[in-house]
């Protein structure tokens, strides 16, 4: 492989340009190609984003100089596109969820393992330095035995019945929305930081807007574009706006998570609080440079992001000195640094530090059990 690794991005909604921006901050990576659903749209987006080449997906796969493909398309396309990328002998980074069906994700894990190609799923929120710091502190015994976990992921981008996106359509997004979309990040971080496995779930969903007004013209996620009432049609909604899930872990401890996309004023707030025998950790993604550490017998602590105060495992995810804030865009950059180090070596590491297709399969299994629990209104084993 040449010294400069060449990448292509498939899909240019909200998250595709986020991948592009992060990749442009890596000195050994060049994004040379972009794919969209039509050649005309690909040409338009490539020009707007400053990418030299524009293709349809099948034509991009034929380009021998493209080493890595980033799949940033709607959920229902992930399986077929990831499979095609692997079969074209290219490394792949896929947005979550890895697929919409468990058997599809299982097949992708097998194919990726057989090829030895680098495979990753974009659970980028692991890459807040504070999240890695919490994980490392737990591994070093500073948390103690985990007693309980309380988490939430709250947004308001679907607060109004006129808010609409392809994620509201099960044929494109899958049977779950809030849990599959933002809940998967929270559940991934929960197992990642605590080192525990979720063994049982009890879920309860609610759909606040039983019908929504679907725009008759396309709008992009988070674009904020305004339409008139004549631009809408009323459609039924069958996926959850809000979900609460009780959790049981393999060490016998308990937890709960709440996710909502209809929480006014909460723009993108992941909050996790882990209670242990020695300390309590609380992290809030809207204040990503702070970690609250609770104590019983002495004053609580507020750790601010500063590489000189972090464990080395976590300071590796920090690019700027203390007092220079880092946030959401930096999580993708830090994740891609680790993924592209593997790409430079030419194969998937034996024990990857980054979330893999196996991680994607794990979250898909948990998500499907949560959907099953809501339908049965009962505890379901994972």
Binned at pLDDT 50, 70 and 90, residue 258 comes out as very high
Number of H helices, E strands in the chain: 12, 17
d(CA 315, CA 306): 8
Query: What is the predicted pLDDT for the residue at 168?
Result: 93
Report the pLDDT averaged over residues 305-309: 97
Query: What is the predicted pLDDT for the residue at 264?
Result: 98
Report the pLDDT averaged over residues 157-175: 92
Q: Which of 2-6, 96-100, 342-346 has the lowest mean pLDDT?
A: 2-6
> Tens of pLDDT along 212-238?
999 887 665 555 566 677 788 999 999
> Tens of pLDDT along 177-191?
999 999 999 999 999
Query: What is the predicted pLDDT for the residue at 52?
Result: 98
Query: What is the predicted pLDDT for the residue at 232?
Result: 86
Torsion, Cα of 167, 365, 192, 86 (10° steps): -80
d(CA 368, CA 175): 9
Q: 195-209 burial string, b = 16+ CB within 10 Å, else e?
A: ebebebbbbebebeb
Query: What is the predicted pLDDT for the residue at 231?
Result: 81
Torsion, Cα of 95, 287, 141, 336 (10° steps): 30
Mean pLDDT of the chain: 95
Instruction: Evaluate whether 77 touches 71 at the Cβ level (below 8 Å).
Output: yes
Which residues have C-beta within 8 Å of that of residue 47, sequence separation ≥ 6?
none
Query: What is the predicted pLDDT for the residue at 2?
Result: 58
Helices (H), 140-183: 170-173, 178
Report the pLDDT averaged over residues 46-72: 98
- For residue 103, pLDDT over 60 is answered with yes
Query: What is the predicted pLDDT for the residue at 224?
Result: 56
Residue 17 phi/psi, 5° resolution?
-60, -30
- For residue 371, pLDDT over 60 is answered with yes
Report the pLDDT averaged over residues 284-297: 97
Report the pLDDT averaged over residues 94-111: 97
pTM, to two decimals: 0.93
Which residues have C-beta within 8 Å of that of residue 44, sequence separation ≥ 6?
none
**Paired strand residues for 55:** 35
Cα distances (angstroms) measured from residue 274 to each of 32, 59, 104, 237: 42, 47, 33, 34
d(CA 212, CA 104): 30
**Phi-psi category of residue 163: left, alpha or beta, with phi > 0 → left and psi -120 to 50 → alpha:** beta
Residue 92 phi/psi, 5° resolution?
-140, 135
Query: What is the predicted pLDDT for the residue at 213?
Result: 93
């Amino acid at each position: 492989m040449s010294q400069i690794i060449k990448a292509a991005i498939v899909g240019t909604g909200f998250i595709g340009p986020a991948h592009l921006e992060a990749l442009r901050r890596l000195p050994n990576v060049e994004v040379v190609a972009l794919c969209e659903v039509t050649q005309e749209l690909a040409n338009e987006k490539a020009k707007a984003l400053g990418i030299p080449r524009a293709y349809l997906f099948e034509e991009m796969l034929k380009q021998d100089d493209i080493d890595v493909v980033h799949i940033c398309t709607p959920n229902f396309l992930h399986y077929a596109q990831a499979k095609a990328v692997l079969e074209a002998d290219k490394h792949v980074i896929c947005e979550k969820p890895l697929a919409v069906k468990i058997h599809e994700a299982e097949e992708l894990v097998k194919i990726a393992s057989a090829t030895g190609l680098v495979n990753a799923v974009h659970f980028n929120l692991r890459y807040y330095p504070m999240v890695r710091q919490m994980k490392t502190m737990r591994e070093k015994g500073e948390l103690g035995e985990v007693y309980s976990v309380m988490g939430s992921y709250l947004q308001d981008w679907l607060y109004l019945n006129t808010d609409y996106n392809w994620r509201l359509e099960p044929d494109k997004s899958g049977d779950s929305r809030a849990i599959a979309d933002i809940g998967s990040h929270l559940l991934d971080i929960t197992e990642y930081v605590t080192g525990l496995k979720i063994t049982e779930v009890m879920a309860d969903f609610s759909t606040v807007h039983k019908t929504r007004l679907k725009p008759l013209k396309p709008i992009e996620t988070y674009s904020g574009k305004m339409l008139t009432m004549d631009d809408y049609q009323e459609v039924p909604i069958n996926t959850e706006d809000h979900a609460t899930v009780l959790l049981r872990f393999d060490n016998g401890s308990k937890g709960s998570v709440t996710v909502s996309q209809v929480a006014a004023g909460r723009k993108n707030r992941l909050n996790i609080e882990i209670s242990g025998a020695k300390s309590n950790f609380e992290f809030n993604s809207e204040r990503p440079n702070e970690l609250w550490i609770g104590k019983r017998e002495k004053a609580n602590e507020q750790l601010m992001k500063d590489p000189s105060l972090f464990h080395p495992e976590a300071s590796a995810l920090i690019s700027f000195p203390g007092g220079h804030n880092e946030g959401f865009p930096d999580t993708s950059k830090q994740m891609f640094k680790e993924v592209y180090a593997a790409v430079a070596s030419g194969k998937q590491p034996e024990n990857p530090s980054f979330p893999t297709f196996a991680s994607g399969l794990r979250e898909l299994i948990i998500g499907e059990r949560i959907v099953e629990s809501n339908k049965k209104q009962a505890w379901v084993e994972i």
